[in-house]
Amino acid sequence: MLSVAILREYGVDLCDGQALARCCLGDICADVPVDKKTAPGLYSLEEAERSPSLRTCLEVLKRQREKGLRRVEVCSEKKSDTCVKKLVGYLLARYGGPILLVGFNSRVAGELFSLTNGAVADVEGRLIPYDLVDLSEPENWIEKARVVLITPGALHLTNVVELVKKAKELGKPIVMYGAISTLYKDLGIEYFCPYGLRI
């Protein structure tokens, strides 16, 4: 059974419309962004497979088990403002812009696009001062970007494997931030989490 507890509805790891859930299978637990409508409780594996958010929980927990990790937790909210500033500083110093942000987190987007240009691959258009591109096909914008930045909340919204494949074909680096991003390094994603795991 998959156990899901909703922790909070804000944070740098989340996209708009998401909540942070602690997902557990036995003694292996991870803090994973899920759709805000996801109810806490126990889910059979079959039931979890039918939900994009819960399927992402299962994928994260599977990757975690393969790496021998029992817990993956996001940093405290106090550290997240500093984390955003470090992330933006790192990206601009190493890659510059434009940047394709996959998944919309208003804090990350606000800080990032106050200093450079780029676009946000998002599930729906909003009246916000950012260039939005369709999240179902972010690959179409990769060519115009210097670097692709993936929010942890985008894991259940886009096909990360295909995104990485396209970016590699075009010679574009991909950075994913947040604690669970360390579980995706094997795809060739650069991991950024100043307060997170080092494996």
Distance CA 92, CA 156 (A): 27
What residue type is 60 in one-letter code? V
Distance CA 113, CA 98 (A): 9
Asked if 64 contacts 32 with a C-beta cutoff of 8 angstroms, the reply is no
Report pLDDT for 130: 59
**pTM of this structure:** 0.86
Distance CA 128, CA 192 (A): 26
The overall average pLDDT reported for the chain is 85
Helix (H, G, I), strand (E, B) or coil at 27: coil
The model's pLDDT over 91-125, given as tens digits with 9 standing for 90+, comes to: 999 998 888 888 888 888 888 888 877 777 766 55
DSSP labels for 75-119? PPHHHHHHHHHHHHHHHHHHT-S-EEEES--HHHHHHHTTTS-EE
Report pLDDT for 59: 93
Residues 6+ apart with CB under 8 A from 144: 98, 100, 119
What domains lie within the chain, and their CATH numbers? 2-73 (no CATH), 75-198 (3.40.50.2300)
